[in-house]
Chain A
Amino acid sequence: MSNKDKNDNNLANTRRSFMKKSATAGIIAASSAPTFFMKNAFAADGSFRNMPGMGKSIKLGFNVPQSGAYADEGADELRAYKLAVKHLNGEGDGGLMNTMKPLSLKGNGILGKKVEYVTGDTQTKSDAARASAKRMIEKDGALMITGGSSSGVAVAVQSLCQEMGIIFMSGLTHSNDTTGKDKRRYGFRHFFNAKMSGSALGPVLKEEMGTERQAYHLTADYTWGWTQEESIKETTEALGWKTTATVKTPVGAGDFSQYITPILNSGADTLILNHYGKDMINSLTQAVQFGLRDKQVNGKNFEIIVPLYSRLMAQGAGENLKGILGTTNWNWALTDAGSMAFVKSFGAEYGFPPSQAAHTCYVQTLLYANACEMAGTFYPPAVIKALEGFKFDGMGNGETEYRAEDHQCFKNVLVVRGNQNPTSQFDLLEIVKEVPRSQVEYDASIFGGELGPYKV
């Protein structure tokens, strides 16, 4: 063996042993990492993740879509959050804190600590939303995460928050799964859901369109679209309608013409658009351009239904939305004290009325703050217990209850129609009926799923 070969052998040996060493070093480093980063958010001494301690302020994390198909909703949500923070800290006119009953908030922050906030962009993608939620929890020390304008994102972030032991107050999410099969102990939803939309729409549809219709569904291909299609189908089939076809469309497709052409020859006389945000604006506009609404099928006028409506979408769809039926969680034209107070302070701040997304996000923030005050601590299990079964009023939807079994709020649902003669650029939805809470209630066990533990 030459000298050089020996050297090479030596080198190979050291390399090998070096690899071993570095691997061992890695494992040792991993196992000796500080224990407070372990899964258990709660240590034995009653401390919990991101515990505010003696600090003078606490942070809330606002995770909203700032880009993508739901960006309009996200922008409005963020406005509402900023307004809520102002009101919680005792600035501004107090908004809904003047009308909420029962109220434990004092206008000096939460439990005497000033409220600050951090923001993140969900991009309406589960991955991005979880990454920004993690950043807010791990880096910024957010005590609560809220926001989102997509059920896919809400479900993903909610399960992350459960793992991390951080309360998640979901924003705009309408899928049955959020408080159904994917419900979590740490997730709370104020917004209504597809099942409630179906129950509210049913009687109105019967009255206006009769019992013999052929429905054609175009459905956004993710958890919200699926459950809405299911719930609306259930309702319409109970009325005696037939379902011609259900077609899934990708989110953010932009061009829906390839999905609309087949409807013309399908024999259907009703189109149900399970779309939201810019998707709904595009698909509805294209459906109208294809002349669907001027058609007569089976001796009836062709009708379009948009089960989930929002004013922001109505603004985008313009003329095309006139006369089209749907449901909404809340509308700024409501005349109860809570709604009026909220519209007034939002309008004073930003110069235009809030959307339903803004409303639900604002209310969620106040509800979380109020629950902390009620519990007298930020300790998540105590806050969760304060929220579970909490009954309140004066927040714009009449008497409302956070059902303990699935963390879903139960309240009145609005059936609306695109306004035929709008008096202003915001007066786009006409309230057809305020469906009472009792009519939209359902058994919590029908969707399955488990809330999971209080302590994680």
Chain B
Amino acid sequence: MMKLTLKNNLFVMLIFSVVVLTAPIWLSPIGANYPDLLQKFAIFGIFAIGFNILFGLTGYLSFGHATFLGIGSYSAVWCFKLFSMNVLPGIVMGTVIAGIFAFLIGYVSLRRSGIYFSILTLAFAQMSYSLAYSVLTPITNGETGLQLSSEDPRYLDALFSVEVTEGLPSTNLFGQLMSGYPGFYFCATLLIIGFYISLKIFRSPFGLKLRAIKSNQTRMRYTGFNTRPYLLTAFIISGMYAGLAGSLMAVTDPLAGAERMQWTASGEVVLMTILGGSGTLLGPLFGVTIIKYFENIFSAMNTSTLNEFFSFLPEFLQSIMVSISQHFVGEGWHLTLGALFMLVVIFLPGGVMEGVTLINKHVRLKLGLRYDDPSVAQSEPSGIEAAPASLTDSQKEEKK
């Protein structure tokens, strides 16, 4: 019998899809319901979900994931330039080429683990960044960024004699333009598909093996298990997620710049995952929403917005509050984010997801409901809350 619990994939996906597709509605009270930010939420959601498959499951911290984001963007823009303004070839090409690069970089980097792996990926990322920034200027157009031009050949579009509009053509999905809200729904659909794949991986024997690698790789090797193919597969999958995210960035805004590959961009996805809760399905998405919200909304606040916000206070209190809080908005948004990050890491080492779990537990105990503590071995580890605490819990599942 199917029970409506979070262990049921269908039920999880239903809730998830509804939440994602109605984002424009429930995000409007906090002023985040404009297309560009919504698109960013969905795109970076895909990026972080993919990163979490590698980092959350295997514990391998890649510090160069933005490389694949950049490669995805460049591939997609080249696809728009050479073949068609239809987005489907673009995202397929972006994902596949990022996958190929992930194979090459992963094959070398995964020979080491721990900090050495992180440094290797960082080195590859910086190499790719420098290549894109100056050496490969004919392909990447350097710091100016790769852009569409009206002289691009677009062979496929020419073949199917797609109508040429005045000015630059726009990205489209069989005629539906990909800017604004349609662009968001397209990204959101892919986010839902990406989330589903990630859910399946988390709850599959493959995901279990990845978790086993995280918990004790040496022991796994002793039992005669070759871990590297699994690691490499996880690395490629997560690279392809990044490539997809990168190509979606090009879909919603056909321009690719080298700064997408910079180490700060790689660090951002690490922050997102840790802030939200690595190793959990939903954690990275919380992280993405928080960081992108800060980056776009907090950075744009100025004293006049603050004055408005505190206008309910008496005047002298208002000016005091404004003078204090103005250091935390506008250019100071990094400061707020840093403080928040510290608080989360100190008090909720498992990220925002740990907070959600704690609240959930508290509420259920208060209401006298049964609470399935995911850390205690139950019939089946749900995976949505936290990774199983030990290998033995998970092994039970595999034997079933």
Contact = CB atoms under 8 A, between A and B. Distances in A.
Interface of A: 7, 11, 14-15, 18-19, 22-23, 25-27, 29-31, 33-34, 37-39, 66-67, 118-121, 125-128, 130-132, 134-135, 138-140, 151-152, 155-156, 159-160, 162-163, 221-223, 248, 250-251, 450, 452-453, 456
A452 B150 CA distance: 10
Band of interface residues on B = 35 or more
A39 B137 CA distance: 31
A26 B40 contact: no
A126 B257 contact: yes
B35 interface: yes
A453 B166 contact: yes
A25 B192 CA distance: 11
A126 to B, nearest CB: 4
B186 A30 contact: yes
A18 B189 contact: no
Interface stretch (B13-21, B219-227, B346-354): B13-21
Given A37-B182, A138-B35, A18 B14 contact: yes
B144 A222 contact: yes
Given A23-B189, A26-B188, A14 B10 contact: yes
Interface string B136-158: 01000011110100100000000
Contacts of B188: 26
Nearest to B185: A30
A248 B134 contact: yes
Contacts of A15: 9-10
Given A11-B10, A33-B181, 14 more contacts: A22-B17, A26-B188, A30-B185, A31-B182, A37-B35, A66-B330, A120-B299, A125-B257, A127-B257, A134-B35, A138-B34, A156-B255, A159-B168, A453-B166
A160 B257 CA distance: 14
Interface stretch (B45-53, B76-84, B172-180, B386-394): B172-180
Contact of A26 (B36, B143, B185): B185
Given A18-B13, A22-B192, A222-B144, A131 B331 contact: no
Contacts of A14: 10
Contacts of A456: 167
A221 B185 contact: no
B280 interface: no
A37 to B, nearest CB: 4
B335 interface: no
Interface of B: 1-2, 9-10, 13-14, 17, 21, 31, 34-37, 40, 133-134, 137, 142-145, 147, 150, 166-168, 170, 173, 176-177, 179-182, 185-186, 188-189, 192-193, 196, 253, 255, 257, 259-260, 296, 299-300, 302, 330-331
**A-B pairs, 10 with minimum CB distance:** A26-B189, A37-B180, A222-B143, A30-B185, A134-B36, A139-B34, A138-B34, A452-B167, A33-B181, A223-B144
Contact of A155 (B144, B150, B179): B144
B153 to A, nearest CB: 17
B73 to A, nearest CB: 9
B300 A135 contact: yes
Contacts of B177: 38-39
Given A119-B302, A121-B299, A452-B166, A152 B192 contact: no
A452 B169 CA distance: 11
B181 A37 contact: yes
A139 B40 CA distance: 14
A121 B296 CA distance: 10
A251 B133 CA distance: 10
B78 to A, nearest CB: 17
Nearest to A30: B185
Nearest to B36: A134
Nearest to A224: B144
17 contacts: A19-B193, A22-B192, A23-B189, A26-B189, A26-B192, A27-B189, A29-B185, A120-B300, A130-B253, A132-B296, A159-B147, A160-B253, A162-B167, A162-B168, A221-B143, A250-B134, A250-B143
